[in-house]
Amino acid sequence: MALVCEVAVAGFILAALGFTLSCVATAMNAWKTMTTTVAVLSETTVVGLWYTCVDQGTQWECKAYDTFLGVPSTLLAARCLLVLSDLLSFLGASVTFIGLRCIRLPCEITSRTRGALTACAGVLCSLAAATTLVPVGAITYQTVQEFWDPNFPDYMPRYELGDAVFLGWGSGVSSYQDGP
């Protein structure tokens, strides 16, 4: 019984970690970064799901996308899927917590119900992982393809992967580990 409880608690911790990382990755602006240097001035452009920011060393300026239709299609799909992932991972972590055998609830829950809750939590967390990994993979693929594009001049700066991509990978992996 103690081992079952420890494994279930570990599953809950992974689900909560997946939820936290998913929310942070969704809110972060650093999905794609590009640094350009002209003479002694360095400028970093950061593309996010919600804003595009420019850091000129002493000044940091962010601008939201002007219109819904002005958002690149990959980022628009990533927005939708990551918000859905946040919702699914929150529900998955909540159901995981309710299904824990170590937790005493005010109402009595049978072992059959706990099993159904565990299965439901696994499905929710697996869906959350999929809705995180698909947009993160698409943005990664697009960024790598653009970076290595032979038609792009060598002297032009190129976008690279930002920190939010790596948090997205971590979120997807930790959410999936709680699956059935």
Averages of pLDDT over each 10 residues, the chain, 180 residues: 71 89 93 82 89 87 86 91 95 88 76 86 92 95 92 86 93 69
Instruction: Fill in the DSSP letter of residue 70.
Output: G
Report the alpha-carbon distance of residue 16 to residue 82 in Å, rounded: 16
Q: Which two tokens stand for residue 24?
A: 């942070």
- Let me know if residue 99 belongs to a domain: yes
Residue 55 DSSP SS3: strand
Residue 54 placed within a domain: no
Range of the domain at 7: 2-31+69-176
Residue 50 CB partners (closer than 8 Å, separation 6+): 27, 29, 64, 65, 79
Radius of gyration from C-alpha coordinates of the chain: 20
State the pTM of this model: 0.86
On whether the CB atoms of residues 96 and 103 are closer than 8 A, the answer is no
165 in Cβ contact with 33 (< 8 Å): no
Beta-bridged to residue 34, according to DSSP, are: 45
**What's 128's domain CATH number?**
1.20.140.150
In a domain, 55, yes or no: no
41 token code pair: 């001035």
pLDDT of residue 20: 94
